Amino acid sequence: MFAIEDGALLDGRIPPAKGKLVVAWIEIHREELMADWNLAVVGENVFRIKGLE
């Protein structure tokens, strides 16, 4: 589990190289992630966010 705000690893384990990819993805998609988070909090459907290619 990662924090959207700063990409900090909150829970779990992940190899460092893969963790860096996740943090990079979070940085690229932070606005979309926050928008989806806000929708989820109020029980709305979230939008799909494109993964890394």
Domain ranges of the chain: 1-53
Residue 25 is encoded by which pair of tokens? 């993805």
Residue 43 is encoded by which pair of tokens? 């029980």
> Rounded to whole angstroms, how far apart are CA atoms 3 and 19?
12
Q: What are phi and psi of 37, to 5 degrees?
A: -60, -45
What's 2's DSSP letter?
B
Q: 52 pLDDT exceeds 80?
A: no
Residue 1's pLDDT is 96
pLDDT in tens, 2-48: 999 999 999 999 999 999 999 999 999 999 999 999 999 999 999 99
Residue 8's pLDDT is 96
Locate all alpha helices (DSSP H) within the chain, ordered by sequence.
Answer: 16-41
* 12 within 8 A of 1, measured Cβ to Cβ: yes
Rounded to two decimals, the pTM is 0.85
